[in-house]
Amino acid sequence: MALVIPVEICDMVVDHIATVEKDYSLRDIFPYALELSARPELMSLRLVSRNYCAAASRQLFKHIVARTDSSSVRGRNPLQSIVKILRSEYAAHVRHLETGYNQWSSHYSETLDHDIQDLSGLLSPCLAQLFDLRVLKVAHDFGYFFPNHSPPLYIPMEDILRRLKYLALHVTAYTKKEGQRYWRTPVLPAHAALPNDLHAAHLFRLVELVPNLVALRIRSTDVIPFHTIHFSPLLHLTSLCLSRVLVTFDHFRALTNQCREHLKHIQLSLVELHSGGTWNAVLTQLTQLPHLVDVSISSCGYPATGPNASFAGSLPEPDNPRELETMNFADYDGLEALRQHVNANRVALGLIPFERMDYH
């Protein structure tokens, strides 16, 4: 008689593989995220026995990645795999969906517009059937998700987004040469015709329609105006990750004050402070967050134009990044005050304090 491994043992093995044992990891911000390295092991475990298959499937199908890119074959939209999942027993496991269009190539795909329209057409009915979805990560052209003329199967994104808790939005194509840092990426004419900073309203509308967010990540290629977002008064973020956005002190202060009793994780990379104050003021403001335990500050500074242009620092060597790119030396006082505040919170919780180098 074949040995049957108990369900409890299978669950323990699978949980050990799927759990990232780090003091600070992606799972801390997006709790249903599955590390790429864990997928092959979980897929292999599904072949061992029925109990292992059931346990591993629950983890694998929690986090689904279905992106379109320049190598995708026309007529084989990755979201079609979501349709197959919706027709299976695994649909109940889906909590985290990554989708969108990744376009890092310097060659323009003639089918790009059709691919994205197909993607947006499939997305809303798919999301509507994922009743326990909590995380959505979307990349590229967000305007297609708010069509002027809706197809018959289209379900308003407003109705779908309300139940999300975690949202990550990535802009993946450069639309201008200005602002690119070390290695210039060619800007395709089709991208230049739709500047990211002028069309960011579509992306930000997605944020505004999710009133119950606890984690928000926005990452862009070109700098986009984060300070134009009108946040829901119900918003209580625990995690905020921003990269390549433009902020103002007043807008950022209002957001952190609103989430004061909840914010634990903040990651700021290549964030430019346009007006209203200095980075010293921003970082000092963050010391008022009583539960903040994880902070990453990387290459933040000031734009070359505008009220704070006089504080803009020179671009450091690519192999010597700085937390702050600034001519205002008082900004480093704010950074040190923030480090001390975060470390005091960490020590109180039994966590290892940050060293200065941990901020890179």
What's the DSSP call for residue 168? Answer: E
| Cα–Cα distance for residue pair 42/20, rounded to 1 Å | 14
Residue type, 115: D
| Cα–Cα distance for residue pair 167/219, rounded to 1 Å | 11
Query: How far from the centroid of its chain's Cα atoms is residue 18's Cα?
Result: 20
Q: What pLDDT is attached to residue 21?
A: 58
- Residues near 118 by Cβ (< 8 Å), separated by ≥ 6? 77, 79
Q: What pLDDT is attached to residue 5?
A: 76
Supply 135's token pair: 């995380």
Boundaries of every domain in the chain: 61-235, 255-360
Q: What pLDDT is attached to residue 105?
A: 44
Q: What pLDDT is attached to residue 165?
A: 85
The DSSP element (H or E) to which 86 belongs, if any, is helix 79-86
Supply 272's token pair: 């430019």
The answer to whether 324 and 297 are in contact (CB under 8 A) is yes
- pTM as predicted: 0.79
The answer to whether 133 and 127 are in contact (CB under 8 A) is yes
| Cα–Cα distance for residue pair 304/56, rounded to 1 Å | 51
- Residues near 332 by Cβ (< 8 Å), separated by ≥ 6? 324, 326
The answer to whether 211 and 179 are in contact (CB under 8 A) is no
| Cα–Cα distance for residue pair 359/354, rounded to 1 Å | 8
Tens-of-pLDDT digits for all 360 residues of the chain?
456 777 788 778 888 787 765 554 444 567 777 777 788 888 888 888 888 888 888 888 888 777 665 444 444 556 677 778 877 888 788 878 777 665 544 444 555 555 556 555 556 666 666 666 666 666 555 555 555 555 544 556 676 777 788 888 888 778 788 778 888 888 878 777 778 788 788 788 888 988 888 999 999 988 999 999 999 998 999 999 999 999 999 999 999 999 999 999 999 999 999 999 999 999 999 999 999 999 999 999 999 999 999 999 888 888 888 999 999 999 999 999 999 999 999 999 998 898 764 444
